[in-house]
A and B are shown apart, each in its own frame.
Chain A
Amino acid sequence: TPVDTSSPASSSSLLNRLQLDDDLDGETRDLFVTVDDPKKHVCTMETYITYRVTTKTTRAEFDLPEYSVRRRYQDFDWLRNKLEESQPTHLIPPLPEKFVVKGVVDRFSEEFVETRRKALDKFLKRITDHPVLSFNEHFNVFLTAKDLNAYKKQGMALLSKMGESVKYVTGGYKLRSRPLEFAAIGEYLDTFSLKLGTIDRIAQRIIKEQLEYLVELREYGPVYSTWGGLEVELSEPLEGVSACIGNCCTALEELSEDMTEDFLPVLREYILYSESMKNVLKKRDQVQAEYEAKLEAVALKKEDRPKVPTDVEKCQDRVECFNADLKADMERWQNNKRQDFRQLLMGMADKNIQYYEKCLTAWESIIPLLQDKPETK
């Protein structure tokens, strides 16, 4: 997390603290959301974690300037589904994985909870950044309602203030050919998620190898100590080497932990993101297919000047809106992706540099010990 030491009141430092992207072009930010303070709840039926969601805003759509609510993963999942439903032409950011293999991962371990918290925080921030999604009514309720469950129960009965809910026809129509620019996006996403998958596997393999290296190092260091016990003059130097190797073990452990907690989850998030984006592309294809089919049906009618009925016109509108929204979102996504990966990979390099620096310090500090002339006994 970049730490800004300028006065907390200035908006730029606030921006840095909240890790928002920097392509605002003078747009004044008027909505800030943070996820923090995980707490464990133990009930008769289940045990679960809630997170505090804090909102600060000057928008008219919000009754108060500040809100603080508690939400659990289920609630984030509900929000995402609602967004997908109500904003089908837009790319909805992904959530961290819902299910974790029992016995392999401890759902209540500090590391797991922290990893999840970071991902949920990122999820809300991406929505906050989005010029359309951030005004979504469900998002508003999510941030503000004291009792979200009551709102959830109302469900379909609530009419959207944004206009009639747009229902999209699923299935039935087959698109002849995807327009070039969307085909290109599709191909890009395919290759992109493939490469990310490879990187994920490599990173996991490295962590595995590092842990096996660590196991051997843990046996190696103490042998120098045992040897030191046999010697007189060499006792201190050998002990020194043993301690040094111990320090390197600690540094390596920290590196592997960091990679597991900070690096891998972000990779996986982007793989999920790509998958959901591919689904949106397919939906766009559906909408275009429907329009083309209906248009063709009209053209086949044996009339001299077939009048384009209103529902076909609506389909055309839909296609054009969808294409526009998607293109805008793709551009936004590309920029965010570039920032995110830049930060992720620089972070990976940083962690490795820190590891080597710790080891360097350890070895440099024992050189004088090794070179020491023993006092005449």
Chain B
Amino acid sequence: MLHELLFSSSKKMEDCLAKKMEITVSEAEKRTGRNAVNMQETYTAYLIETRAIESQSEGQCAPVDSLWRRYSEFELLRNYLSVTYPHIVVPPLPEKRADFVWHKLSADNMDPDFVERRRIGLENFLLRVASHPVLCQDKIFYSFLTQEGGWKEMVNETGFQLKADSRLKALNATFRVKNPDKRFTELKHYSDELQSVISHLLRVRARVADRLYGVYKVHGNYGRVFSEWSAIEKEMGDGLQSAGHHMDVYAASIDDILEEEEHYADQLKEYLFYAEALRAVCRKHELMQYDLEMAAQDLTSKKQQCEELATGTVRTFSLKGMTSKLFGQENPEQREAKIKVLEEQIQEGEEQLKSKNLEGRDFVKSAWADIERFKEQKNHDLKEALISYAVMQISMCKKGIQVWTNAKECFSKM
């Protein structure tokens, strides 16, 4: 099955779902319900709207379909995609809980600003999946967008959970694999370092935002004191009063500035989480490689056993060999039976090894293709993010110049 999936990545971008269907997460709503243990809980539901993009026909628009999904369903979808397409760098979800907050931002999941940013993040996720050449063709994904009821059952029926590799197994493989592909080892290091540097950046950025907020807000105090001072002045009064007003404008301007910057932080966060997805692909490779190595090792040992039984020589130490030496060897019939069993196993093993090898090479090939696609996307997106950040800074500087120029004019009239 993996084999089939790997070769479907040759489809062109034009066939992507994103080109055929408009997808938006347009609303968020607070709901109350009963959870799995029948306790009351509040959660947020998101409205997914879809509409077929048809060729223009007298301005007629296709009808909009919509359904509500909650965050846990998005999680389920992503888990399914990760397990089903382990060679793909699967787009990440926006964070579950508010992290890297600076003091004014709430860390509360129910906070309207957080919900709004999450809504945008979820829409972004769906668009990423819908524009991925492989992922967009998945039926479960399509149903997620279009089928209201019974979707959860449908996902669970695929039995994907059984295919999921256990964390322990993966960790074991990481430590014990002998010859992973060098490119994946390098990629693993890269994704670790990327995670580390982006986390650091986000943490400091939050502190920078905090301090900048403080600087702007204190200027608001000038507004009040200039106003009070102007009351006792004759000629200076008007100039002071109006300058004070500009100080208030300056102090208030930081709120919008920092809110816009949150969008930049979200773009960075997406790639922080993408680093984890990248890591997951590397882990899968290590697992497959380890599996392969174990199968090869097993095959080698069986071949050896077979040889020993056939020639009667013991080359390696084995308990069986020792016991047979001590208690006498088996009779020829027993030996023949054993050899036959081993020969069958060896043949099976060789076939398995062959297919594992093939699988491994195909995995590496298509994973690497998706990684290249991902790298290009990452470079493009992050460049855009940096440009928009620079544009934000330019806008902030221009606003600053404007306000202080206005204030200066008021002072000149004092």
Q: Is A135 an interface residue (CB 8 A)?
A: no
Residue-wise, chain B 393-405 has the 8 Å CB interface mask toward A (1 for contact) of 1100110110011
Known contacts A202-B222, A352-B400, A356-B404; A370/B387 CB under 8 A:
yes
* A223 engages B393 (CB within 8 Å): no
State the CA gap A226–B204 with chains docked (Å).
Answer: 14
Q: Is B326 an interface residue (CB 8 A)?
A: no
Residue-wise, chain B 215-250 has the 8 Å CB interface mask toward A (1 for contact) of 100110110010011001001100100010000000
Contacting residues of chain B (207-221) with chain A, CB-CB under 8 angstroms: 207-208, 210-212, 214-215, 218-219, 221
* A366 engages B390 (CB within 8 Å): yes
Residue-wise, chain A 320-341 has the 8 Å CB interface mask toward B (1 for contact) of 0000000000000000001001
Residue-wise, chain B 344-364 has the 8 Å CB interface mask toward A (1 for contact) of 000000000000000000000
The interface centre, meaning the residue of B387, B397, B414 with most chain A CB atoms within 10 A of its CB, is B397
A338 partner residues in chain B, CB cutoff 8 A: 235-236, 414
* A360 engages B211 (CB within 8 Å): no
Q: Is A308 an interface residue (CB 8 A)?
A: no
* A192 engages B232 (CB within 8 Å): yes
Q: Is A217 an interface residue (CB 8 A)?
A: yes
* A209 engages B404 (CB within 8 Å): no
A210 partner residues in chain B, CB cutoff 8 A: 215
Contacting residues of chain B (361-414) with chain A, CB-CB under 8 angstroms: 379, 382-383, 386-387, 389-391, 393-394, 397-398, 400-401, 404-405, 407-408, 411-412, 414
* B390 engages A213 (CB within 8 Å): no
* B219 engages A206 (CB within 8 Å): yes
Q: Which of B204, B243, B386 contacts A238 (CB 8 A)?
A: B386
Report A185 CB to chain B, min CB distance, Å.
11
Q: Is B205 an interface residue (CB 8 A)?
A: yes
Contacting residues of chain A (190-219) with chain B, CB-CB under 8 angstroms: 191-192, 195, 198-199, 202, 205-206, 209-210, 212-213, 215-217, 219
A230 partner residues in chain B, CB cutoff 8 A: 190, 193-194, 197
Q: Which of B210, B214, B228, B387 contacts A371 (CB 8 A)?
A: B387
* A346 engages B398 (CB within 8 Å): no
* A237 engages B411 (CB within 8 Å): no
Q: Which of A212, A356, A363 contacts B390 (CB 8 A)?
A: A363
Q: Is A367 an interface residue (CB 8 A)?
A: yes
Q: Is A224 an interface residue (CB 8 A)?
A: yes
* B390 engages A367 (CB within 8 Å): yes
* B386 engages A341 (CB within 8 Å): no
Known contacts A226-B197, A371-B387; A209/B218 CB under 8 A:
yes
Residue-wise, chain B 190-209 has the 8 Å CB interface mask toward A (1 for contact) of 10011001101100110110
Contact count band on B: 35 or more
State the CA gap A356–B215 with chains docked (Å).
Answer: 14
* A341 engages B414 (CB within 8 Å): yes
Known contacts A195-B228, A227-B197, A371-B387; A353/B404 CB under 8 A:
yes
Chain A interfacial residues counted at CB < 8 A: 50
Known contacts A191-B232, A338-B235, A360-B397; A237/B218 CB under 8 A:
no
A234 partner residues in chain B, CB cutoff 8 A: 379, 382-383
Q: Is A188 an interface residue (CB 8 A)?
A: yes
* B387 engages A216 (CB within 8 Å): no
State the CA gap A370–B394 with chains docked (Å).
Answer: 14
Known contacts A223-B201, A367-B390; A188/B232 CB under 8 A:
yes
A219 partner residues in chain B, CB cutoff 8 A: 204
State the CA gap A227–B215 with chains docked (Å).
Answer: 28
B219 partner residues in chain A, CB cutoff 8 A: 206
* A353 engages B215 (CB within 8 Å): no
State the CA gap A366–B388 with chains docked (Å).
Answer: 12
* B387 engages A360 (CB within 8 Å): no
* B214 engages A209 (CB within 8 Å): yes
* A213 engages B208 (CB within 8 Å): yes
B208 partner residues in chain A, CB cutoff 8 A: 213, 216-217, 220
Q: Which of B232, B243, B387, B394 contacts A364 (CB 8 A)?
A: B394
* B397 engages A220 (CB within 8 Å): no
* A349 engages B401 (CB within 8 Å): no
A223 partner residues in chain B, CB cutoff 8 A: 197, 200-201, 204
* B205 engages A220 (CB within 8 Å): yes
A132 partner residues in chain B, CB cutoff 8 A: none
* B379 engages A233 (CB within 8 Å): yes
Q: Is A95 an interface residue (CB 8 A)?
A: no
Q: Is A350 an interface residue (CB 8 A)?
A: yes
Report A225 CB to chain B, min CB distance, Å.
10
State the CA gap A195–B222 with chains docked (Å).
Answer: 10
A226 partner residues in chain B, CB cutoff 8 A: 197, 200
Report A366 CB to chain B, min CB distance, Å.
6
State the CA gap A215–B414 with chains docked (Å).
Answer: 36
A166 partner residues in chain B, CB cutoff 8 A: none
* B212 engages A213 (CB within 8 Å): yes
Report B374 CB to chain A, min CB distance, Å.
13
Q: Is A345 an interface residue (CB 8 A)?
A: yes
Report A302 CB to chain B, min CB distance, Å.
48
* A356 engages B400 (CB within 8 Å): yes
Q: Is A314 an interface residue (CB 8 A)?
A: no
* B190 engages A345 (CB within 8 Å): no
Q: Which of B383, B393, B408 contacts A363 (CB 8 A)?
A: B393
Known contacts A202-B222, A371-B387; A342/B412 CB under 8 A:
yes
Known contacts A213-B215, A345-B414; A202/B221 CB under 8 A:
yes
Report A224 CB to chain B, min CB distance, Å.
7
* B197 engages A206 (CB within 8 Å): no
B215 partner residues in chain A, CB cutoff 8 A: 206, 209-210, 213
Q: Which of B197, B204, B232, B404 contacts A349 (CB 8 A)?
A: B404
A212 partner residues in chain B, CB cutoff 8 A: 211, 214
User: Which 5 A-B residue pairings sit nearest by Cβ, starting from the closest?
Assistant: A349-B408, A213-B211, A360-B397, A356-B400, A345-B411
A-B contact pairs, 28 of them (CB 8 A): A195-B225, A195-B229, A199-B229, A202-B221, A205-B221, A206-B215, A206-B218, A209-B215, A213-B212, A216-B211, A220-B205, A223-B200, A223-B204, A227-B201, A234-B379, A234-B382, A237-B386, A241-B386, A341-B414, A342-B239, A342-B412, A349-B408, A356-B400, A356-B404, A360-B398, A363-B390, A363-B394, A371-B383
Beyond A346-B411, A357-B401, 8 extra complex contacts between A and B, CB < 8 Å: A195-B225, A209-B215, A342-B412, A349-B411, A353-B401, A356-B398, A364-B394, A366-B390
Binding site for A on B (CB under 8 A): 190, 193-194, 197-198, 200-201, 204-205, 207-208, 210-212, 214-215, 218-219, 221-222, 225, 228-229, 232, 235-236, 239, 243, 379, 382-383, 386-387, 389-391, 393-394, 397-398, 400-401, 404-405, 407-408, 411-412, 414
Binding site for B on A (CB under 8 A): 188, 191-192, 195, 198-199, 202, 205-206, 209-210, 212-213, 215-217, 219-220, 223-224, 226-227, 230-231, 233-234, 237-238, 241, 244, 338, 341-342, 345-346, 349-350, 352-353, 355-357, 359-360, 363-364, 366-367, 370-371
